[in-house]
Amino acid sequence: MKVVFLDSDSLPVSIARPAWITDWQDRPDTTPDQVVDAARDADAVITNKVRIGRAELEQLPNLRFICVAATGYDCIDLAACRDFAVTVCNVPAYSAQSVAESVIASIFALHRQLFVYQAAALRDWPDSRHFCVHRTPIQDVQGSVLGIVGRGGIGLATARLASALGMQLLFAEHRGVVPVRKGYQSFETVVAQSDVISLHCPLTERTRHLIGAPELAQMKPGALLINTARGPLVDEAAVLNALDSGRLGGAALDVLCQEPPPADHPLLNSRHANLIVTPHVAWASQSSLQRLADGILGNLQGYHSGNLINLVS
């Protein structure tokens, strides 16, 4: 059995290779035009973010199994995989705790104005007439309202941590859907009433630019936006405009529309102290990385034995 990992550098831990895999190839990364040559004659491929679509599958007649080294699988054309009888599995829930902790850390950093006061300590504190320096108002996390968009494993893990901190929780119904399910609030209500909105939904055509200029205008003045899901869920230009105007109290973005982004990306070059941009690493705690590696191996073993797990398509 031949297995090719198309972007192995995205997973900085090793995967135990079972003896029944006779040919295992790790590729640090694979560009779109290299996919067919890289996966030629492979029985199975592992991909984190390298896209595999109909054009590639048409040229890979031996390919029978794709393991997505992630929970999200929007890099795979599932309809084409069904047409070509290619099985697709993912690794669900492995990063829920890591991403949830990243969300909570971002809420603390933005509500407590950590970057503002780190700068104030260097610039203003030595010459202060008092023992402290007051700048941007600090907000308590306890008692604030967290709106969660997406009630999967990561959304629920975030809710558990937030609840323990005394935050009030609102779960958003799909935009425009009526009636609203029990335990949810309408999307519009969550946008309007939340002090913090955290996105945990998949990227689809319905959720693209889920948060844009209209939604940002409907949010509470000074509310926070956190996106650890997929970059295109938000309109980046609208977010930057809302930060510029002061309407948005802060944003923490672990994902962008283009990854990796160009060096001149406006969000990377913003001077806003209330903007946190991290390079898609909310998922990557050491324990999460190991769970992901174990999950990949489990999926491969399931395919080999005929007992598929984590089946997507």
Residues with active-site annotation: 230, 259, 280
- Secondary element (H or E) of residue 2: strand 2-5
Q: How far is the CA of 264 from the CAs of 93, 261, 268, 269, in angstroms? A: 34, 8, 7, 7
Cα–Cα distance, 154 to 149 (Å, whole number): 10
Cα–Cα distance, 290 to 14 (Å, whole number): 9
Q: Which of 236, 228, 238, 239 is nearest to 274 (CA)?
A: 239
Q: What is the 3-state secondary structure (H, E, C) of 229-288?
A: CCHHHECHHHHHHHHHHCCCCEEEECCCCCCCCCCCCCCCCCCCCCEEECCCCCCCCHHH
* Residue 253: strand pairing partners: 227, 277
- Coil, strand, or helix at residue 43? coil
Sign of CA dihedral 91, 7, 202, 200: positive
| Sheet containing strand 196-199, strands side by side | 168-171, 145-149, 196-199, 224-227, 250-253, 275-277
Burial of 175 (0-12, 13-18, 19+ CB in 10 A): middle
Q: How far is the CA of 121 from the CAs of 108, 111, 125, 188, 224, in angstroms? A: 18, 17, 5, 40, 24
